[in-house]
């Protein structure tokens, strides 16, 4: 005997919603976005060479921002070092160790190729390092004196990779602004007026700190929520595209001489580009005008610069962030659309666990900074370790192409066409018991129940039988005796796939043929042939997914775990039949089944739904048993620090 322990834990029981180690909670609210038009025009008059950039900061409006979390500081060198060490990612160019002899060789080669004006500066060093960092003999080391400086010269894509590893994401522009000004309309996180002593820029006071890279938290410039260095120091990546603010309109400006005569008219034209992203805040090399909350500059996703860094953010709901970043490499041809547009990340479910490094051990490796001898870090500062998760993200509308028919109709069409239906994305960092599934993202594909003959005709493998066996007997359900196995429900209501009842020929005994029923038999024969055409796969068709490597239980619907090559790596038997009913009555979340016997093992049960029509939804359930590297089960909710239902 066994019992099933279904646990649906609210987030508050697993982790207080207003606490997230290493992050600061930012409450939701209405936030002022953009600069006043009059101020924008005045700034353009002061800096006409930057007219197109400054013009993109207007107009001012308000946006509603949901509650979220953000790191109190930029990601530092010592934080990024943990990621590089753990993953083998490219170290930032500033960490490259280049001997004087090698530098001389590079300069000589550069002058020969590009001319006598060639310089081996930060930018050329970065390009050289990107091409050569993996070469034999290349050496790098993070300078311990720069441990608390922001990591720079990493691209937007590098920053996203770090976020995925740590289980976070980059903030959006509205979130970044919300963290900086809260409910105020100030130009600076610390108030309405500029203060040279609170911003790391090209004219910081004291002057020995001007135009220099400094450690985070070197100045008391925290926002209302305790977030540091949001203006100045280095520009910061956001996850927002370089698009105009709501209400932006083109305009012109006139420049006049002392006598009031118009000397020039300009038409500022910001570079809106959805392929580029916005960076915010200004840097230590910028003038004061650029070091404001409303500064917004378009930047290439694959570019990097020595004055651009980033900080991490997190949604109030767990799982969503890691799922949205870790599923981006799924192939559209397998998933049925691009991950960003096809997947409903707000409906992601699963479990996750963040990790932190020992801050005392990290601090012991630092060396004094050249310009700031003592740094008072935020109490929320932390160095993150790798993030672990097991998540499922449903597609937004997988059955739209099938007109949201009932499942028995969809099943018949699948058997006839061979077109299996992608339903969701699965991401795993952990081992899955009974399956050899490497860590990564996969597409979950629905395959309806089939008879033995159908499975074999599609090149599949009948579970419990030899690959080339011709027997048509289905194995019993797992955990049951052969004599007790119940006949699975026939989804078509027509019996076996050859048009007979229960897959067994119905032949009257010899001598009992009734001539008067010949016409009735002919009609039934026609119906059987018609049913056969519906339920038996056409021999010339090919299944849309290669199922040859996974065993399937006859008469049981499954969810296939499919890789980027459209090959099924595992077949997960569904628990019960899929459902189609009112959305509110379809379960969506993760529960746990407790081990209490020999026949049923503990597992995590994924219940998920995808949209139907007229307020209905399709529901599916399957079991997985995740294990850690030692093989121990991870089916206890206490082993995870967040669960999303």
pLDDT at 208 over 60: yes
Q: What share of the chain is helix, strand, coil (3-state, %, to 5)?
A: 25, 25, 50
pLDDT at 146 over 70: yes
Calpha distance 96→77 (Å, rounded): 13
Give residue 467's pLDDT: 52
Calpha distance 164→327 (Å, rounded): 10
The pairing of strands 558-562 and 440-447 is antiparallel
Calpha distance 553→568 (Å, rounded): 15
Note whether 469 and 338 are same-domain residues: no
What are the residues whose beta carbons fall under 8 Å from the beta carbon of 374, sequence distance 6 or more?
Answer: none
Helix (H, G, I), strand (E, B) or coil at 325: helix
Exposure string for 159-195, b = 16+ CB within 10 A, e = fewer: bbbbbbbbbbbbbbbbbbbbbbbbebebbbbbeeebe
391 vs 540, more confident: 391
Note whether 101 and 162 are same-domain residues: no
Give residue 643's pLDDT: 66
pLDDT at 92 over 60: yes
**Would 515 be classed as within a structural domain?**
no
Note whether 243 and 116 are same-domain residues: no
Confidence of residue 539 (pLDDT cuts 50, 70, 90): low
Q: How much is the average pLDDT of 122-151?
A: 95
CA 412 to chain centre: 34
The enclosing domain of 313 has a CATH number of: 3.90.1580.10
Confidence of residue 601 (pLDDT cuts 50, 70, 90): confident
pLDDT at 504 over 50: no
Confidence of residue 596 (pLDDT cuts 50, 70, 90): low
**Would 166 be classed as within a structural domain?**
yes
Picking from 417, 413, 387, 439, the residue whose alpha carbon sits closest to that of residue 626 is 439
Q: How much is the average pLDDT of 129-137?
A: 94
Note whether 369 and 342 are same-domain residues: yes
Give residue 595's pLDDT: 65
CA atoms within 13 A on the CB side of 186: 20
Q: How much is the average pLDDT of 375-404?
A: 96
Each residue of 316-325: pLDDT tens digit?
999 999 999 9
128: enclosing H helix or E strand: helix 122-132
Helix (H, G, I), strand (E, B) or coil at 447: strand
pLDDT at 11 over 70: no
Q: Determine how many CB atoms are found less than 10 A away from the CB of residue 240.
A: 18
587 vs 531, more confident: 587
pLDDT at 492 over 70: no
Q: Determine how many CB atoms are found less than 10 A away from the CB of residue 78.
A: 21
Note whether 104 and 158 are same-domain residues: no
Q: Are 272 and 88 in contact (CB under 8 A)?
A: no
Picking from 638, 641, 645, the residue whose alpha carbon sits closest to that of residue 22 is 641
Each residue of 390-415: pLDDT tens digit?
999 999 999 999 999 999 999 999 99
Give residue 599's pLDDT: 65
Note whether 133 and 53 are same-domain residues: no
Q: Determine how many CB atoms are found less than 10 A away from the CB of residue 250.
A: 10
Each residue of 105-121: pLDDT tens digit?
999 999 999 999 999 99
Q: Which ranges constitute the DSSP H helices of 444-517?
A: 452-457
Give residue 608's pLDDT: 98
pLDDT at 546 over 70: yes
**Would 4 be classed as within a structural domain?**
no
| Angle (CA) 618 624 625, round 5° | 160
Q: Are 151 and 92 in contact (CB under 8 A)?
A: yes
Calpha distance 602→510 (Å, rounded): 53
Q: Which residues sit opposite 241 in a β-bridge?
A: 277
**Would 239 be classed as within a structural domain?**
yes
**Would 167 be classed as within a structural domain?**
yes
Calpha distance 325→168 (Å, rounded): 9
Q: Determine how many CB atoms are found less than 10 A away from the CB of residue 622.
A: 20
pLDDT at 296 over 80: yes
Q: Determine how many CB atoms are found less than 10 A away from the CB of residue 426.
A: 26
Confidence of residue 312 (pLDDT cuts 50, 70, 90): very high
What are the residues whose beta carbons fall under 8 Å from the beta carbon of 258, sequence distance 6 or more?
Answer: none
Q: How much is the average pLDDT of 34-59?
A: 94
Burial of 216 (0-12, 13-18, 19+ CB in 10 A): buried
Note whether 133 and 158 are same-domain residues: no
Q: How much is the average pLDDT of 242-256?
A: 93
pLDDT at 336 over 70: yes
**Would 257 be classed as within a structural domain?**
yes
pLDDT at 262 over 70: yes
Q: In which residue are the tokens 């209490």 written?
A: 596
Calpha distance 303→155 (Å, rounded): 5
Calpha distance 31→63 (Å, rounded): 5
Note whether 270 and 295 are same-domain residues: yes
What are the residues whose beta carbons fall under 8 Å from the beta carbon of 603, sequence distance 6 or more?
Answer: 592, 593, 623, 624, 625, 635
CA atoms within 13 A on the CB side of 545: 31
Give residue 466's pLDDT: 56
Note whether 581 and 455 are same-domain residues: yes
**Would 514 be classed as within a structural domain?**
no
pLDDT at 469 over 50: no
Q: Determine how many CB atoms are found less than 10 A away from the CB of residue 405.
A: 15
- Give the gyration radius of the chain's Cα atoms: 31
Residue 532 phi/psi, 5-degree rounding, is -65, -40
Q: Which two tokens stand for residue 269?
A: 């034209």
Note whether 494 and 379 are same-domain residues: no
Note whether 55 and 129 are same-domain residues: no
**Would 212 be classed as within a structural domain?**
yes
Tell me which range, 427-431, 457-461, 492-496, is most confidently predicted by mean pLDDT. 427-431
Whole-angstrom CA distances from 56 to 19, 39, 142, 508 are 36, 12, 37, 84
Confidence of residue 520 (pLDDT cuts 50, 70, 90): low
Q: Which ranges constitute the DSSP H helices of 542-622?
A: none
Give residue 434's pLDDT: 87
pLDDT at 443 over 80: yes
Exposure string for 95-117, b = 16+ CB within 10 A, e = fewer: bbebeeeeeeebeeebeeeeeee
Q: How much is the average pLDDT of 548-575?
A: 96
* Straight-line distance from the first to the last Cα atom of the chain, in angstroms, rounded to the nearest whole number: 28
Confidence of residue 579 (pLDDT cuts 50, 70, 90): very high
Q: What value does the mean pLDDT of the chain take? A: 87
Give residue 498's pLDDT: 36
Calpha distance 493→501 (Å, rounded): 10
Confidence of residue 501 (pLDDT cuts 50, 70, 90): very low
Calpha distance 564→441 (Å, rounded): 9
Query: What total of structural domains would you count in the chain?
Result: 3
Note whether 460 and 563 are same-domain residues: yes
What are the residues whose beta carbons fall under 8 Å from the beta carbon of 485, sequence distance 6 or more?
Answer: 476, 477
Domain residues for the domain of 51 are 22-77+146-389
């Amino acid at each position: 005997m066994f019992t099933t322990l279904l646990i649906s834990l609210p987030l508050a029981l697993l982790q207080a919603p207003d606490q997230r180690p290493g992050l600061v909670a930012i409450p939701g609210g209405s936030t002022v976005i953009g600069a006043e038009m009059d101020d924008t025009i005045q700034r353009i008059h002061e800096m006409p060479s930057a007219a197109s950039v400054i013009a993109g900061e207007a107009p001012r409006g308000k946006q509603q921002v949901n509650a979220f979390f953000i790191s109190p500081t930029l990601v530092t060198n010592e934080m990024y070092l943990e990621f590089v060490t753990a993953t083998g990612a490219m170290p930032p160019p500033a960490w490259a160790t280049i001997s004087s002899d090698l530098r001389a060789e590079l300069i000589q080669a550069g002058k020969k190729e590009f001319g006598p004006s060639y310089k081996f500066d930060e930018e050329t060093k970065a390009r050289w390092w990107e091409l050569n960092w993996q070469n034999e003999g290349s050496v790098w080391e993070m300078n311990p004196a720069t441990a608390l400086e922001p990591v720079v010269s990493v691209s937007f894509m590098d920053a996203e990779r770090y976020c995925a590893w740590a289980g976070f994401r980059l903030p959006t522009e509205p979130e970044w602004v919300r963290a900086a000004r809260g409910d105020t309309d100030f130009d600076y996180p610390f108030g309405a007026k500029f203060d040279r002593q609170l911003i790391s820029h090209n004219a910081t006071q004291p002057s020995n700190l001007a135009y220099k890279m400094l450690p985070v938290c070197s100045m008391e410039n925290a926002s209302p929520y305790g977030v540091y260095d949001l203006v100045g120091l280095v520009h910061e990546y956001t996850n927002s595209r370089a698009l105009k603010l709501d209400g932006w309109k083109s305009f012109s400006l006139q420049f006049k001489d002392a006598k009031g005569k118009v000397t020039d008219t300009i038409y500022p034209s910001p570079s809106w580009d959805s392929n580029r992203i916005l960076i915010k805040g200004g840097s230590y090399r910028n003038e004061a005008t650029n070091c404001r909350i409303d500064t917004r500059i378009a930047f290439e996703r694959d570019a990097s610069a020595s004055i651009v860094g980033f900080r991490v953010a997190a949604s109030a709901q767990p799982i969503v962030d890691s799922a949205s970043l870790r599923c981006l490499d799924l192939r559209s041809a397998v998933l049925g659309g691009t991950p960003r547009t096809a997947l409903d990340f707000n409906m992601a479910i699963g479990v996750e666990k963040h990790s932190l490094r020992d801050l005392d051990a990290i601090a012991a490796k630092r060396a004094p900074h050249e310009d700031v001898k003592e740094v008072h870090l935020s109490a929320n500062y932390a160095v993150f370790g790798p993030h672990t998760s097991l998540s499922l993200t449903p597609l937004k509308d997988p059955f739209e192409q099938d007109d949201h028919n009932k499942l028995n109709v969809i099943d018949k069409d699948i058997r006839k066409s061979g077109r299996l239906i992608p339903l969701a994305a699965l991401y795993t960092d952990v081992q899955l018991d009974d399956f050899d599934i490497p860590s990564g993202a996969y597409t979950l594909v629905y395959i309806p129940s089939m008879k033995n003959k159908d499975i074999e005709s599609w090149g599949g493998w009948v579970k419990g039988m030899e690959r080339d066996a011709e027997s048509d007997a289905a194995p019993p359900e797992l955990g049951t005796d052969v004599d007790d196995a119940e006949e699975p429900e026939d989804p078509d209501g027509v019996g076996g796939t050859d048009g007979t009842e229960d897959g067994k020929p119905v032949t009257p005994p010899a001598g009992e043929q009734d001539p008067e029923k010949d016409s009735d038999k002919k009609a039934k024969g026609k119906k059987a042939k018609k049913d056969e055409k519906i339920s038996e796969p056409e021999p010339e068709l090919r299944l849309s997914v290669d199922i040859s490597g996974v065993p399937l239980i006859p008469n049981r619907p499954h969810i296939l775990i499919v890789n980027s090559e459209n090959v099924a790596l595992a077949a997960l038997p569904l628990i019960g039949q899929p459902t189609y009913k009112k959305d509110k009555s379809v379960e969506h979340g993760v529960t746990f089944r407790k081990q209490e016997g020999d026949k049923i093992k503990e597992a995590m049960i994924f219940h998920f739904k995808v949209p139907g029509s007229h307020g209905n939804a399709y529901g599916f359930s399957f079991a997985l048993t995740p294990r850690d590297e030692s093989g121990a089960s991870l089916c206890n909710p206490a082993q995870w620090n967040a669960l999303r239902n």
